[in-house]
Amino acid sequence: MAGLRVVDLSTVVFGPYCTQTLADLGADVIKIEPPEGDTVRVIGTPAHTPGMGPVFLRLNRGKRSVVWNMKSPTGRAALEKLLATADILVHNIRPEAVARLGLDYDTVRALRPDIIYVHCTGFGLAGPYAGLQAYDDVIQAASGAAALLPRADGNPRPRYLPMLFADKVSGLHATYAVLAALVHRLRTGCGQHVEVPMFESIASFNLVEHLCNATLVPPTGDWGYARQLDPTRQPMRTSDGWISVAPYVDDRWQRFFQAVGRLDVFERPSLADKTLRRQNMSEMYLLMTDLMPSRSTADWLALFKQIAVPAMAVNDIGGLKDDPHLQAVGLFNERQHPTEGAYLEVRQPVVFGGCTLPELRHAPHLGEHSDELLRELGLLPADPMPPDAR
């Protein structure tokens, strides 16, 4: 995406995750921030500088930060001149404020007719929830995600997944929407308005498997993919830790029980043939769970590799940096920030065979590139004026 300019007026995670991906792919991303900065700047404990928190570092590498007062004539003029040079605009401004700020699609399109205008919203603009505030927790609740764990484990209390699941998935939807709109522009010369609503994004994402039998009219069964909601399908305790095993297909179950000398389980009437075993998979999971404490995690992993049954140890997220596979593929890269010191960068997971992604500039300080952009736009002299010439 080198040579493409993205103006990023988004905050927190949803929009910035999209623009981070675009920056990783080589786009020139210009992050316009309010004087107090993006709120994500204060998440976590900074190494040295207030406003340079670790989550901000993770989400904003490769971007340039600009602080302009968009309500002042000078700031507005700078923004309009910048938008005239932009290929893509990404923002998450609430619908009622967009027109008031002069950032509606028609106004922006008048500055750059072929711009790709991406509006990251909480809820689709055509529905009754349009304009409501949306955060990850709210979307997890509205989309049914918070009600999935109770269906799986019997604890009736709804619970959030402990990650910014809705923000990040919606950010990926926004990314592919940008790329599709770019292809459209290459073919037609036309930009377009692109709406990416979180609620619809996560509802659609959840219903890939969980619409299930309700896909058909009339439904042939209940909503929810039974295998995913099976309370027996959980990590299993070994003698020294936890392991995840995914036999799934019948021949793998047979290989497992043969390897542990328990082919007798198939003499049970409930497990006598392939159809019965599929219907009563919970019983096989319970049998497997009972066997797991007899060996160490390493011993089980060696056996599962030998008999070609998918399995992995349960890692604590804090240990991923030391995972030998992730080290071998270079997912983590230790870099030196000019002011914040050493930090871990997590690269894009996709590997391109025909090109190399650029090494990106470090996450910026608030307003670090304001004057630089003004000079690029011809709104400041190319060289700073000496004091006696001011």
Enumerate the active-site residues: 167
- Interior/surface letters 198-223, b for 16+ CB within 10 angstroms, e for the rest: bbbbbbebbeeebbbeeeeeeeeeee
Paired strand residues for 88: 6, 116
Distances (CA, A) of 103 to 79, 97, 129, 173, 195: 10, 9, 21, 22, 14
H helix or E strand, kind and range, residue 84: none
Gap between the Cα atoms of 336 and 342, Å rounded = 4
Tell me the backbone φ, ψ of residue 254, rounded to 5 degrees. Answer: -65, -40
**Residue 86 φ/ψ region, left for φ over 0, alpha for ψ in the -120 to 50 degree band, beta for the rest:** beta
Is the C-alpha dihedral spanning 36, 374, 345, 160 positive or negative?
Answer: positive
First to last CA, the chain: 39
SS3 string, 304-365, reads HHHCCCCEEECCCHHHHHHCHHHHHCCCEEEEEECCCEEEEEECCCCCCCCCCCCCCCCCCC
* Distance from chain centroid for Cα 140: 14
Gap between the Cα atoms of 63 and 40, Å rounded = 15
Tell me the backbone φ, ψ of residue 110, rounded to 5 degrees. Answer: -65, -25
Cis omega (within 30 of 0) for bond into 387: no
C-beta of residue 122 within 8 angstroms of C-beta of residue 201: no
* Distance from chain centroid for Cα 113: 30
**Which residue, chain included where needed, has tokens 């619409």?**
211
**Residue 102 φ/ψ region, left for φ over 0, alpha for ψ in the -120 to 50 degree band, beta for the rest:** left
Gap between the Cα atoms of 22 and 2, Å rounded = 10
Query: Minimal CA–CA distance to 335: which of 304, 360, 366?
Result: 360
